[in-house]
Amino acid sequence: MRLIIEVLLMGLAFFIGAKLVPGVEVTGFASALGAAVLIALANATIGFILRLLTFPINFLTLGLVSFIITVLMILLVDSMMTSFNTTGFFAAAFLAIIVALIKAIFSAVAGEKE
């Protein structure tokens, strides 16, 4: 049940982020939900492998490479979906920042279950 709620909140975060960030378009909540699921899957597979390969550089840059990998995963999903579009790297970077902030707010409001 918690997984379903987290997936729905992630979709809501992407929907809100797409409305706030200029250069990001999503056709509806279902498309935002699909994009959120695909980005999570891309981060869990391809992103994980890239993070393992770039660990020394990521360590030296204090996580900046990990952020860039997340932005690249957003751009990958953008190229796979027609209902989710970004205008470029900076729009995807702003979307990643906004979604991370919205997810942090959701986590603060919901609290951690012990």
Identity of residue 41: L
pLDDT band at 107 (very low <50, low <70, confident <90, very high): confident
The number of domains in the chain is 1
In a domain, 52, yes or no: yes
Cα–Cα separations (whole angstroms), residue 41 to 5, 23, 60, 76, 112: 17, 23, 26, 11, 23
Per-residue tokens: 109: 């409001």
- Structure token digits, residue 17: 């982020």
pLDDT (mean) for 79-88: 94
Predicted local confidence at residue 114, as pLDDT? 53
- pLDDT tens track for 16-51: 999 999 999 999 999 999 999 999 999 999 999 999
Its domain, for residue 77, covers 39-102
* pTM score, whole prediction: 0.90
Percent of residues, the chain, with pLDDT higher than 70 = 97
Residue 73 lies in a domain: yes
In a domain, 22, yes or no: no
55-74 residue pLDDT tens = 999 999 999 999 999 999 99
43 occurs within a structural domain: yes
Q: Tell me if 81 is assigned to some domain.
A: yes
